[in-house]
Structure 1
Amino acid sequence: MKLPRRLWAFGAALGVLPAGVVTGCSSVSPPPPPQSHQGLPDRGAELISRYGCGSCHTIPGVNRADGLVGPPLTRFGARSYIAGELPNNADNLRRWISDPQSVEPGTAMPNLGVDTIDAQDIAAYLQSLD
Protein backbone atom coordinates (compact mmCIF):
# COMPACT_ATOMS: atom_id res chain seq x y z
CA MET A 1 0.00 0.00 0.00
CA LYS A 2 1.47 3.33 -1.03
CA LEU A 3 0.83 6.30 1.28
CA PRO A 4 0.03 9.70 -0.17
CA ARG A 5 3.00 12.08 0.04
CA ARG A 6 1.28 14.42 2.58
CA LEU A 7 0.48 11.58 4.97
CA TRP A 8 4.04 10.28 4.75
CA ALA A 9 5.47 13.75 5.55
CA PHE A 10 3.11 14.10 8.52
CA GLY A 11 4.17 10.72 9.89
CA ALA A 12 7.85 11.59 9.47
CA ALA A 13 7.33 14.89 11.33
CA LEU A 14 5.63 13.11 14.24
CA GLY A 15 8.53 10.68 14.46
CA VAL A 16 11.01 13.55 14.89
CA LEU A 17 8.84 15.60 17.26
CA PRO A 18 9.44 13.60 20.49
CA ALA A 19 13.21 13.78 20.04
CA GLY A 20 13.03 17.54 19.55
CA VAL A 21 10.77 18.01 22.56
CA VAL A 22 13.00 15.93 24.83
CA THR A 23 16.12 17.72 23.64
CA GLY A 24 14.49 21.11 24.09
CA CYS A 25 13.42 20.33 27.65
CA SER A 26 16.81 19.13 28.76
CA SER A 27 18.60 22.24 27.54
CA VAL A 28 16.39 24.67 29.50
CA SER A 29 17.23 25.04 33.17
CA PRO A 30 14.28 25.12 35.58
CA PRO A 31 13.28 28.47 37.08
CA PRO A 32 14.55 29.23 40.59
CA PRO A 33 12.19 28.51 43.49
CA PRO A 34 9.91 31.44 44.39
CA GLN A 35 11.41 31.76 47.85
CA SER A 36 14.21 30.28 49.87
CA HIS A 37 13.28 27.80 52.54
CA GLN A 38 15.76 28.67 55.26
CA GLY A 39 15.44 27.74 58.85
CA LEU A 40 15.23 24.61 60.94
CA PRO A 41 11.64 23.31 61.09
CA ASP A 42 12.34 20.91 63.99
CA ARG A 43 13.78 23.74 66.06
CA GLY A 44 10.81 25.87 64.98
CA ALA A 45 8.38 23.37 66.49
CA GLU A 46 10.31 23.48 69.79
CA LEU A 47 10.29 27.29 69.74
CA ILE A 48 6.54 27.35 69.11
CA SER A 49 6.16 25.43 72.37
CA ARG A 50 8.68 27.63 74.20
CA TYR A 51 7.04 30.91 73.14
CA GLY A 52 3.61 29.55 74.07
CA CYS A 53 2.04 29.94 70.61
CA GLY A 54 -0.17 26.92 71.30
CA SER A 55 -2.01 28.74 74.08
CA CYS A 56 -3.74 30.76 71.33
CA HIS A 57 -3.39 28.58 68.20
CA THR A 58 -4.00 24.97 67.26
CA ILE A 59 -0.78 23.83 65.60
CA PRO A 60 -0.35 20.28 64.30
CA GLY A 61 2.73 18.43 65.52
CA VAL A 62 3.29 20.70 68.52
CA ASN A 63 2.53 19.32 71.96
CA ARG A 64 -0.32 21.09 73.79
CA ALA A 65 -0.86 23.53 70.91
CA ASP A 66 -4.64 23.45 70.99
CA GLY A 67 -5.57 27.06 71.67
CA LEU A 68 -8.79 28.53 70.34
CA VAL A 69 -8.08 32.27 70.65
CA GLY A 70 -6.27 32.73 67.32
CA PRO A 71 -6.90 30.88 64.07
CA PRO A 72 -5.74 27.27 63.74
CA LEU A 73 -2.44 27.09 61.86
CA THR A 74 -3.21 23.80 60.14
CA ARG A 75 -2.02 23.62 56.50
CA PHE A 76 -0.36 27.01 56.99
CA GLY A 77 2.12 26.44 54.15
CA ALA A 78 -0.77 26.12 51.68
CA ARG A 79 -2.40 29.42 52.64
CA SER A 80 -2.30 32.47 50.41
CA TYR A 81 -2.13 35.20 53.06
CA ILE A 82 -0.77 35.82 56.54
CA ALA A 83 -3.33 37.51 58.81
CA GLY A 84 -5.26 38.51 55.72
CA GLU A 85 -2.62 41.19 55.07
CA LEU A 86 0.61 39.77 53.59
CA PRO A 87 1.24 37.23 50.82
CA ASN A 88 2.33 34.00 52.49
CA ASN A 89 6.08 33.67 51.99
CA ALA A 90 9.04 33.12 54.31
CA ASP A 91 10.09 36.78 54.56
CA ASN A 92 6.60 38.04 55.34
CA LEU A 93 6.00 35.28 57.86
CA ARG A 94 9.25 36.11 59.69
CA ARG A 95 8.16 39.76 59.76
CA TRP A 96 4.71 38.84 61.13
CA ILE A 97 6.16 36.55 63.82
CA SER A 98 8.77 39.12 64.91
CA ASP A 99 6.52 42.20 64.99
CA PRO A 100 2.84 41.55 64.23
CA GLN A 101 1.83 45.04 65.38
CA SER A 102 3.90 46.63 62.59
CA VAL A 103 1.91 44.63 60.04
CA GLU A 104 -1.53 45.05 61.57
CA PRO A 105 -1.68 47.64 64.37
CA GLY A 106 -4.11 46.59 67.07
CA THR A 107 -4.06 42.89 66.13
CA ALA A 108 -4.69 40.44 68.96
CA MET A 109 -1.40 38.75 68.07
CA PRO A 110 1.05 39.92 70.74
CA ASN A 111 4.64 40.90 70.14
CA LEU A 112 6.48 38.11 71.97
CA GLY A 113 9.99 39.44 71.37
CA VAL A 114 10.86 36.69 68.87
CA ASP A 115 14.33 37.38 67.46
CA THR A 116 15.24 37.00 63.78
CA ILE A 117 16.73 33.48 63.98
CA ASP A 118 13.87 32.13 66.09
CA ALA A 119 11.33 33.71 63.71
CA GLN A 120 13.10 32.09 60.75
CA ASP A 121 12.90 28.64 62.37
CA ILE A 122 9.26 29.08 63.44
CA ALA A 123 8.43 30.21 59.90
CA ALA A 124 10.22 27.15 58.48
CA TYR A 125 8.03 24.89 60.62
CA LEU A 126 4.78 26.66 59.76
CA GLN A 127 5.64 26.69 56.03
CA SER A 128 6.14 22.90 56.22
CA LEU A 129 2.49 22.46 57.24
CA ASP A 130 0.77 21.90 53.93
Structure 2
Amino acid sequence: MNGCRWMLAVVLAALPVVAVAGCSSAPPPPPPESRAGRPDRGAMLIAQYGCGSCHTVPGIDRADGLVGPPLTRFGARSYIAGELPNNADNLQRWITDPQAVEPGTAMPKLGVSAIDAQDIAAYLYTLD
Protein backbone atom coordinates (compact mmCIF):
# COMPACT_ATOMS: atom_id res chain seq x y z
CA MET A 1 0.00 0.00 0.00
CA ASN A 2 2.82 2.41 0.84
CA GLY A 3 4.35 1.75 -2.59
CA CYS A 4 1.07 2.76 -4.28
CA ARG A 5 0.85 5.99 -2.30
CA TRP A 6 4.44 6.83 -3.11
CA MET A 7 3.87 6.25 -6.87
CA LEU A 8 0.67 8.30 -6.76
CA ALA A 9 2.51 11.14 -5.03
CA VAL A 10 5.27 11.07 -7.68
CA VAL A 11 2.77 11.11 -10.56
CA LEU A 12 0.71 13.93 -9.03
CA ALA A 13 3.82 15.98 -8.34
CA ALA A 14 4.93 15.65 -11.99
CA LEU A 15 1.61 16.73 -13.52
CA PRO A 16 2.10 20.50 -13.12
CA VAL A 17 5.54 20.24 -14.75
CA VAL A 18 4.12 18.32 -17.70
CA ALA A 19 1.21 20.76 -18.07
CA VAL A 20 3.46 23.84 -17.99
CA ALA A 21 5.94 22.30 -20.41
CA GLY A 22 3.10 21.51 -22.83
CA CYS A 23 1.92 25.12 -22.83
CA SER A 24 5.29 26.60 -23.62
CA SER A 25 6.42 24.17 -26.31
CA ALA A 26 4.77 25.97 -29.23
CA PRO A 27 6.42 29.19 -30.39
CA PRO A 28 4.13 32.23 -30.50
CA PRO A 29 2.69 33.01 -33.93
CA PRO A 30 4.36 35.79 -35.89
CA PRO A 31 2.64 39.17 -35.69
CA PRO A 32 0.07 39.69 -38.42
CA GLU A 33 0.98 42.05 -41.17
CA SER A 34 0.13 42.97 -44.70
CA ARG A 35 3.13 43.59 -46.91
CA ALA A 36 0.80 44.52 -49.75
CA GLY A 37 -1.76 47.27 -49.75
CA ARG A 38 -1.84 50.96 -49.04
CA PRO A 39 -2.75 51.89 -45.47
CA ASP A 40 -3.54 55.50 -46.45
CA ARG A 41 -6.07 54.32 -49.02
CA GLY A 42 -7.36 51.74 -46.52
CA ALA A 43 -8.20 54.52 -44.07
CA MET A 44 -10.23 56.31 -46.76
CA LEU A 45 -12.01 53.07 -47.65
CA ILE A 46 -12.94 52.36 -44.03
CA ALA A 47 -14.72 55.70 -44.01
CA GLN A 48 -16.22 55.16 -47.49
CA TYR A 49 -17.65 51.71 -46.70
CA GLY A 50 -19.05 53.00 -43.42
CA CYS A 51 -17.15 50.60 -41.18
CA GLY A 52 -17.23 53.22 -38.41
CA SER A 53 -21.01 52.97 -38.13
CA CYS A 54 -20.47 49.58 -36.46
CA HIS A 55 -16.85 49.68 -35.26
CA THR A 56 -14.64 52.08 -33.36
CA VAL A 57 -11.62 52.56 -35.60
CA PRO A 58 -8.71 54.72 -34.39
CA GLY A 59 -7.65 57.43 -36.80
CA ILE A 60 -10.95 57.46 -38.73
CA ASP A 61 -13.36 60.40 -38.33
CA ARG A 62 -16.73 59.45 -36.83
CA ALA A 63 -15.72 55.79 -36.59
CA ASP A 64 -17.18 55.25 -33.15
CA GLY A 65 -19.76 52.51 -33.70
CA LEU A 66 -20.65 50.09 -30.94
CA VAL A 67 -22.32 47.26 -32.87
CA GLY A 68 -19.14 45.35 -33.72
CA PRO A 69 -15.97 45.11 -31.66
CA PRO A 70 -13.60 48.07 -31.54
CA LEU A 71 -10.73 47.62 -33.98
CA THR A 72 -8.19 49.21 -31.67
CA ARG A 73 -4.85 47.37 -31.58
CA PHE A 74 -6.08 45.10 -34.36
CA GLY A 75 -2.54 44.19 -35.39
CA ALA A 76 -1.88 42.74 -31.94
CA ARG A 77 -4.84 40.35 -32.00
CA SER A 78 -4.52 36.60 -32.43
CA TYR A 79 -7.86 35.89 -34.12
CA ILE A 80 -10.31 37.51 -36.50
CA ALA A 81 -13.94 37.20 -35.37
CA GLY A 82 -12.85 34.49 -32.95
CA GLU A 83 -12.63 32.14 -35.95
CA LEU A 84 -9.55 32.73 -38.07
CA PRO A 85 -5.88 33.18 -37.19
CA ASN A 86 -5.07 36.85 -37.68
CA ASN A 87 -3.13 37.12 -40.93
CA ALA A 88 -3.53 39.17 -44.09
CA ASP A 89 -5.15 36.45 -46.21
CA ASN A 90 -7.73 35.62 -43.54
CA LEU A 91 -8.48 39.27 -42.85
CA GLN A 92 -9.06 39.98 -46.54
CA ARG A 93 -11.31 36.91 -46.74
CA TRP A 94 -13.28 38.13 -43.71
CA ILE A 95 -13.63 41.68 -45.07
CA THR A 96 -14.82 40.55 -48.51
CA ASP A 97 -17.28 37.88 -47.34
CA PRO A 98 -17.81 37.60 -43.58
CA GLN A 99 -20.94 35.48 -44.04
CA ALA A 100 -18.87 32.77 -45.79
CA VAL A 101 -16.58 32.60 -42.76
CA GLU A 102 -19.25 32.80 -40.07
CA PRO A 103 -22.80 32.41 -41.38
CA GLY A 104 -25.23 34.60 -39.48
CA THR A 105 -22.61 37.04 -38.23
CA ALA A 106 -23.82 40.59 -37.73
CA MET A 107 -21.14 41.82 -40.15
CA PRO A 108 -22.76 42.25 -43.56
CA LYS A 109 -21.22 41.54 -46.92
CA LEU A 110 -20.55 45.08 -48.17
CA GLY A 111 -19.28 44.29 -51.65
CA VAL A 112 -15.68 45.11 -50.76
CA SER A 113 -13.40 44.25 -53.69
CA ALA A 114 -10.22 42.23 -53.21
CA ILE A 115 -7.97 45.27 -53.74
CA ASP A 116 -10.03 47.36 -51.31
CA ALA A 117 -9.86 44.57 -48.73
CA GLN A 118 -6.08 44.47 -49.16
CA ASP A 119 -5.81 48.20 -48.46
CA ILE A 120 -8.22 48.05 -45.50
CA ALA A 121 -6.18 45.18 -44.04
CA ALA A 122 -2.98 47.19 -44.52
CA TYR A 123 -4.50 50.03 -42.48
CA LEU A 124 -5.84 47.76 -39.74
CA TYR A 125 -2.40 46.20 -39.28
CA THR A 126 -0.97 49.63 -38.50
CA LEU A 127 -3.18 49.58 -35.38
CA ASP A 128 -1.01 47.73 -32.92
Please state how far the C-alpha of 1:106 moved relative to its aligned partner.
Answer: 0.3
Among 104, 107, 117, the alignment partner of 1:106 is: 104
Change (3 A) 1:116 1:68: same
Q: Calculate the aligned-residue CA RMSD, in Å.
A: 1.4
Q: How high is the TM-score relative to the length of structure 1?
A: 0.73
Matched with 1:125 is 123
Among 87, 90, 100, the alignment partner of 1:89 is: 87
Classify the secondary structure of the residue corresponding to 2:120.
helix
Matched with 2:43 is 45
Given residue 66 of structure 2, which amino acid in structure 1 is its aligned partner?
L
Matched with 1:6 is none
Matched with 1:70 is 68
Matched with 2:6 is none
Unaligned residue ranges in structure 1 (runs of 5+): 1-32
Q: How high is the TM-score relative to the length of structure 2?
A: 0.74
Matched residues in 2 for 1:63 and 1:105: separation?
30
Please state how far the C-alpha of 1:37 moved relative to its aligned partner.
Answer: 1.4
The higher radius of gyration belongs to 1
Given residue 110 of structure 2, which amino acid in structure 1 is its aligned partner?
L
Change (3 A) 1:34 1:97: closer
Unaligned residue ranges in structure 2 (runs of 5+): 1-30
Matched residues in 2 for 1:52 and 1:34: separation?
24
| Number of positions where the alignment pairs a residue of Structure 1 with one of Structure 2 | 98
Change (3 A) 1:67 1:35: closer
Q: Runs ≥4 in structure 1, deviation > 3 angstroms?
A: 33-36
Given residue 118 of structure 2, which amino acid in structure 1 is its aligned partner?
Q
Among 54, 58, 61, the alignment partner of 1:60 is: 58
Alignment check: 8 A CA contact 2:43 2:123 kept: yes
Matched with 2:27 is none
Alignment check: 8 A CA contact 2:34 2:125 kept: no
Matched residues in 2 for 1:34 and 1:71: separation?
18
Change (3 A) 1:77 1:111: same
